[in-house]
Amino acid sequence: AEKVLGYDLLSLCLEGPRDALDRTQHCQPAVGRGTRRLGPARGAADGRLGPVSPQVVERCVAAAGYSVGEFAALVFAGALGFDEALYAVKVRAEAMQKASEAVPSGMLSVIGRREANYKFACLEARKHCESLGIENPVCTVSNYLFPDSRVIAGHLQALEFLQENARKYYFKRTKMLPVSGAFHTRLMEPAVQPLAEVLKSIEIQKPLLSVYSNVDGKKYMHSKHIQKLLVKQVVSPVLWEQTMHSVYERKQGTEFPYTYEVGPGNQLGAILKQSILKQCNLKAWKQYKHVNTLEDEEAAEI
């Protein structure tokens, strides 16, 4: 990773400083590095899932990654090589960091009541920004997490307006996310071309198992499809709720799969004290397991 990135990522992760690690240009490669721990798609018994069961990887039927995690899923499925994927993430992260610095923007995680109308709330937030003199303001749903939960991204003034008027729009809880910009909105358009160029130079294989795209919640079909949608994902909302429905759709009576989340946090298991997976599919949540890469490494060292 250090050779690909040109800086000591491990030291940054372990020693900080935290504000440097939180920057998009460093945070995304730090998350992406975890793909190495999975090993190749087949026979990765010595990877992070190995201690759970050697058969887990061999019997894997599908993979999905949230936002930058989609690169991890594609590495796991054998569609991307680790070095190439990490370099693409580096280019993506630096371009998104630059786009973020151009406009004061951010992301707001929202849990709403059934009556919540997110599109109307965003419309009024944009009108508020226009009243402040902001031209072409951005405020839109950027992540569909689970029923009654969304991430809204856009100009900071719009997000502040939504927080101040949360009760009016039937938002039960709101929380600003620790990110530097409005990811998965048109404010990230400056990052599109750099990522498109680097993906053209990378050899992309057809995945060895089904990998689901954030853009439409459907399976990737071939290498050109992957290349196209990874670029589109930067400016498109993450359809995570829809992806979960696609992944777990099966005929009545069909054996239900186990779900493993690999990484340093159980974001799929819980976010804002709610379980994304439980809200999307109760049966899937009952067979969910979080594999903490950091804890596994520490146990191995002991």
Please state, in angstroms and rounded to a whole number, the distance separating the CA atoms of residues 35 and 102: 30
Query: What is the per-residue pLDDT across 101-155, written as a single tens digit (0 to 9) for each?
Result: 999 999 999 999 999 999 999 999 999 999 999 999 999 999 998 888 999 999 9
User: 272 pairs with which residues across the strands?
Assistant: none
> 67, 210, 223, 275: which one is catalytic?
67
* Residue that finishes a domain, picked among 128, 149, 177: 177
Active site residue 67: yes
Query: What is the per-residue pLDDT across 20-43, written as a single tens digit (0 to 9) for each?
Result: 766 666 666 666 554 443 333 333
DSSP assigned state of 2: H
Higher pLDDT, 14 or 100: 100
Q: Which pLDDT value is given to residue 201? A: 94
Q: Which pLDDT value is given to residue 217? A: 94
Burial of 265 (0-12, 13-18, 19+ CB in 10 A): middle
Indicate if 33 and 157 belong to the same structural domain. no
Name the domain count of the chain.
Answer: 2
Indicate if 213 and 252 belong to the same structural domain. yes
> 26, 100, 184, 213: which one is catalytic?
184
Q: Which domain holds residue 149?
A: 104-177
* Residue that finishes a domain, picked among 124, 152, 177: 177
Of 73, 70, 52, 51, the closest CA to residue 62 belongs to 73
Q: Which pLDDT value is given to residue 251? A: 78
Active site residue 26: no
Indicate if 209 and 112 belong to the same structural domain. no
Q: What is the mean pLDDT of the chain?
A: 82
Indicate if 196 and 83 belong to the same structural domain. yes
Amino acid at 284: A
